[in-house]
Structure 1
Amino acid sequence: MARMLNYNLPVPDLGDAGVLSALVAEGDELDDLVTAVDDWSVATPAPGWTVAHQLAHLAWADANALSALRTPDAFGAELRRAEAEGSGYADQAAAAGAAMTPALMTPLRLMETWAHGQDVFDAVGVVHRPTDRLRHVASLGVLGRALSFAAVGLAEPADPFRVELTAPDGRTWVWGPETAAQRVQGGAHDFCLCVTRRRPWSETGMTATGEDARKWLEVARVFL
C-alpha cells in the first residue's frame, strides 16, 4: 500500500468542503446503484474482479484508513504484511472480502447507520429508542470478537464465550454454549453501544464474568 503513494504529487486541500461533499456524493451514488443490483457476482472490467470484489476493496481501503487513525500499531502490521506479500495482496484482500460481502453488506450498513445515527441523537440530546433491529448489530458484535482482540495485538482466547442480551421487547438473545465460563450479559442496547465504540463498557450496564470476557468488553469493536 505504501509503495502506491507518489510524494511528487501536490497534496489536496483537505479543508476544501467541496472535496468532502464530492466524496459523500460519489459514495451515495454507488450505494444507490449496488443496492438495486441483485447479483454481485457480475464481472467488472478489472480482470478477475466482480462487483463484490470492487465493493470489498473499497471497504478494505476504508477500514485501513480508519485503522491508521485509530490503531496505528495494527495499521503498521497491515502495511508490513502488504509489503511482504507484494502486489497480489490487494487481490487477496478483495477475494476474501468478496466471499463475505453479500452476506455482511446489509447488516454492516445497518450497523454503520445505527452507530452514526447514535452520534446524531447524542449531539441533539434526543433519546435513541432501541428496537429489535439491534439484533443485527449485536450479532456483528459477537462475530467481531476475534477482530476486537486482533486490533490491539492480542490472540483471540480459545475458550468459548456465552453472550446473553436482553432485547428491547424483554426477550433474551443468546450466543455461545450455556456452559461457557466466559460470559457477557446485559442489555442489547448497551452491548451495541459498546461494540460500536459509542460508550465504554464501564459506562453501560454490561457485566462480564471471566478475565477474557472483561478484556473483550474493554476492546470490543465491529470495525478497525
Structure 2
Amino acid sequence: MSEVDSAVVLADLVAEGEELDALVSGQDWGAPTPAVGWTIGHQIAHLAAADANVVTAVRTPGAFDPVAHDADLDAAEGAAQPQAELLARWRAGRADVVAALREIPQDQGFPWFGAEVTTQLMAPLRLMETWAHGQDVFDALGVKRNPTARLKHVAFLGVTGRTLSFYAAGLPIPSEPLRVELTGPDGETWAWGPESAVQRIRGSALDWCLRVTHRRARAETDLTAVGDDADKWIDLARVFL
C-alpha cells in the first residue's frame, strides 16, 4: 500500500461523504435502490454502522467484535430510525472516523474483520464503500454523477484486489504480470503494473470502479482485455468478499 498517502485519502473521504450528504439531504429515504430490499435509508444506515465499527476498532480495539454482523439486519435497524436521527448519526460517525484515523500512525495496525488493518488501508476502504453505496443512491434518484479524481483510490483498491478476486473464485492466482491502464475523469492515464506486461486491461477509470464494486456488469462497461488472465480478471474483479 505504499502508493497511499493517508492524509490525501482522508481529505478525499470527507469530500466523498459531503457529496453524498448533499444528495440525500431533503430526499425521501424510503425510495428503493438497486440493492434488493434496500432503500436509501438502508444505504445510509449501512455506512453509519461501518463507521461506528471503525471508530471502535481504532479507539477501543479490545471492544471490537471481529465477527461480522448481518449487514441486512443492521441496515434495516438503522433505516427504521427517524430520518433526521439517522442523518445526524451518519454525519457524526463520518467525522469520528476521520478523526480516529488521523490520531494514529498510518502504519499502526488495528483489528478488523478477518485481519488486522492500518489507516493506510482503511482510509481508501471507507472511501470506496462510501462511493459504492453512494452510487446506489445516485442510481435510485436518477441523478447523473460526475466522476472525480477521488476515483483513483477506488481504482487502486481494485488493482490490488487481483489476488482477492481469483482467491474468492477458487482459482489459481495468475503468475504472469498484468497491467491496468485507465483513463481518469480529466483524460489522464492511471496505470499499474509493468509496461512490458503482455496481459492488459484498459478502459475508463469510472467503469473499472463500477465493475470492481459490482455496481455494473461487465457488459455495461467499456473495459477491454488482452490475455486470458486479464480477461478473466474483469469477470472476477472485486474489492470485498
TM over 0.5: yes
Normalising to structure 1: TM-score of the pair? 0.64
Report the count of equivalent residues: 163
Q: 1:15 to 1:135 in 2, by over 3 A?
A: closer
> Separation in 2 of the partners of 1:117 and 1:134?
13
Task: Answer yes or no: is 1:102 the counterpart of 2:166.
Answer: no
SS in 2 for 1:173: strand
> Separation in 1 of the partners of 2:75 and 2:199?
48
Unaligned runs of 5+ in 2: 1-66, 68-72
- Counterpart of 1:188, as a letter, is A
Matched with 1:181 is: 198
Matched with 1:35 is: 98
Matched with 2:211 is: 194
Write out aligned runs for 1:1-224 (5 A).
14=73, 17-18=76-77, 32-37=95-100, 38-40=102-104, 52-53=109-110, 56-57=111-112, 60=113, 93=115, 97-98=116-117, 101-224=118-241
Displacement of 1:17 after TM fit? Answer: 5.0
> Separation in 1 of the partners of 2:119 and 2:131?
19
Unaligned runs of 5+ in 1: 6-13, 42-50, 62-92
- Counterpart of 2:168, as a letter, is A
Q: 1:154 to 1:18 in 2, by over 3 A?
A: closer
- Counterpart of 2:96, as a letter, is L
> Separation in 2 of the partners of 1:32 and 1:129?
24
Displacement of 1:20 after TM fit? Answer: 6.1
Displacement of 1:200 after TM fit? Answer: 1.6
SS in 1 for 2:120: helix
What RMSD over aligned residues (CA atoms) do the two structures have, in Å? 2.8
Query: Identity rate of aligned residues, in percent?
Result: 54
My pick for the range that moved more, 163-172 or 32-41, is 32-41
Displacement of 1:39 after TM fit? Answer: 3.4
> Separation in 1 of the partners of 2:207 and 2:136?
14
> Separation in 2 of the partners of 1:180 and 1:15?
44
The structure that has the greater radius of gyration is 1
Deviations 1:70-118 (A, max 9, x none): xxxxxxxxxxxxxxxxxxxxxxx3xxx23xx210111111111111111
